Chains A and B, each alone.
Chain A
Amino acid sequence: MTASCLTATGITFLVDRIDNTTTATNFWIAWGTGGSSTGGTATSADTGLKAAATEAYAVATLSQPAVDTNQFVATITAGTGKTIEEVILFGGTSTATSVGTNRTIIRASHGGQTLATGDAIQYTIQLQTTT
């Protein structure tokens, strides 16, 4: 089922970022194939992908398109044919391109996208703070 969640680790990340407990500026986007499997729907308890695909994680470009919005954009290209159903945004102080000691901030399970080799998905994830 489709869902997008700010995770529990994402909430602590935001709190830590505001008071400089963490000064992380590294963000990545990763995709996977486990969005529709049992337990695949995104929840706030998620700490990573349900089923990571083989493609490398992509560096997310961070911007602020509006004063109340943080935006993360990255594109990942399929190395082989597959159906992509989930995405995470993770970040932290580690420069390693894996969740590892970094933290999963947002996870979304989305409608399956059947990709052929060379197809790609450009993800744009926006976190908006409204009144």
Chain B
Amino acid sequence: MSWLSLIKQWPVTTPPDEVLEVRPGVNVFSGLKLVLKVRVWREAEQRWVDVPDEASSIDGARL
């Protein structure tokens, strides 16, 4: 099979349905965000200490 024939086949053999199946799922969940806020009460000092917020996408990636 020649290079030319391979190049001509490439767009045809790419399965467009697989791409379309993946993208809706990614788009649906990309709009959810988790924020974890932690405040620590120090009994000996009688005061609250704020810890920086941690924001993540729902799969754990830091934002």
A interface residues (Cβ-Cβ under 8 A, vs B): 2-6, 41-44, 75, 77, 87, 106, 108, 110-111, 113, 115-131
Contact = CB atoms under 8 A, between A and B. Distances in A.
B4 to A, nearest CB: 45
Nearest to A46: B60
| Chain A contact surface mostly | strand
B48 to A, nearest CB: 7
A6 B36 contact: no
Nearest to A77: B41
Nearest to B48: A122
Nearest to A123: B38
B39 interface: yes
Given A4-B56, A5-B60, A110-B36, 7 more contacts: A41-B60, A117-B43, A118-B44, A120-B43, A121-B40, A123-B38, A127-B32
Interface of B: 31-44, 48, 51, 54-56, 58-62
A125 B34 contact: yes
In the A-B complex, the 5 residue pairs with the smallest Cβ-Cβ separation, listed nearest first, are: A118-B43, A3-B60, A6-B58, A124-B37, A120-B41
A128 B41 contact: no
A50 to B, nearest CB: 14
